[in-house]
Amino acid sequence: MVRQLFRLNEIVEKKELAPRIKEIKVYNPRIAAKARAGQFVIVKVGEEGERIPLTIADWDREKGLITIVFQEVGVSTYKLGRLGVGDVITDVVGPLGNPSEIEKFGTVVCVGGGVGIAAIYPMAKELKKAGNRVISIIGARNKDLLIYEEEMRRVSDELRITTDDGSKGRKGFVSDELRDLLNSGLKVDRVIAVGPAIMMKTCADVTRPFNVKTIVSLNSLMLCGMGMCGACRVEVGGKTRFVCVDGPDFDAHQVNFDVLIKRLNAYKAEEQLALKRFLEVKA
């Protein structure tokens, strides 16, 4: 039996999807049994490591595996990226957050940017299973950073690709493609966007004049993941909400993205310094 071969939280598969973007499959039967689209885990590498939230990109209930995709941007993700097959992640807690709303809406546009493509993938897959027509728009800075293209193609009725430099698909942003799609007159019943905060803000600005319900999965700073510390607070509809227990999905037209972006940048200097020191020590 495969369940007897691995230790809890052991990495059983690993591959590089793009430069500094990695996919790992982790053995955790309890999380795999309950995971649903839109949920995430809190991961800690090392006893003194920080807790970082990572979206569950996929799961295999039979094998007890969850799939996590992450980009190496800080000390903790670099530490995670240096683990290999057979290594055990110190802590993996989940599934956390509320599952995405999945039902038959009609025509749904799923927009993914950067690593957010891996996060939108399970949503698109489940929406397709629910009988929706799924049109997906995915984008990255260039073709080398584009991930999950074939995975998204399999779960979409139509797939559109953009790159900032035009090296693949349309030259421009996912929001440009979204705007053209809405301007075409196609009846769109819902838009879901996952990616960098500025990308999600732009998508919300694009859909607002069309009065299309738009959902975003927020990527705020997070510590406990259980609604106790308040680190993941965001402003939605003029009220404070906690991403970990109230989200991560919210009505994009109600989110104060300016506050979110400001909070995401609050510790940039310290994060860059910590990474510089980490890489110097490991060099």
Chain segment 29-40, per-residue pLDDT in tens: 999 999 999 999
Q: Are 126 and 57 in contact (CB under 8 A)?
A: no
Q: How far is CA 279 from CA 126, 143, 250, 276, in A?
A: 39, 27, 36, 5
Domain 107-264 coded CATH 3.40.50.80: yes
Whole-number pLDDT of residue 223: 87
pTM for the predicted model, two decimal places: 0.93
Whole-number pLDDT of residue 237: 96
Whole-number pLDDT of residue 4: 58
Domain boundaries, the chain: 2-96, 107-264
Whole-number pLDDT of residue 3: 47
Whole-number pLDDT of residue 283: 59
Spans in the chain with pLDDT lower than 50: 1-3
Binding residues for FAD: 69-71
Looking at 72-188, which runs of residues are DSSP E strands?
91-96, 107-113, 133-140, 158-163, 170-171
**Dist CA 160 CA 153 (whole Å):** 9
Binding residues for [2Fe-2S] cluster: 224, 229, 232, 244
Whole-number pLDDT of residue 1: 41
Question: What one-letter code names the amino acid at 14?
Answer: K
Domain 2-96 coded CATH 3.30.365.10: no
Q: Are strands 190-194 and 170-171 parallel, antiparallel or unpaired?
A: unpaired
Contacts (Cβ under 8 Å, ≥6 apart) of 222: 42, 51, 52, 53, 231, 232, 243, 244
SS3 assignment for 128-142: HHCCCEEEEEEEECC
Whole-number pLDDT of residue 225: 87
Binding residues: 69-71, 224, 229, 232, 244
Whole-number pLDDT of residue 2: 47
**Dist CA 245 CA 222 (whole Å):** 11
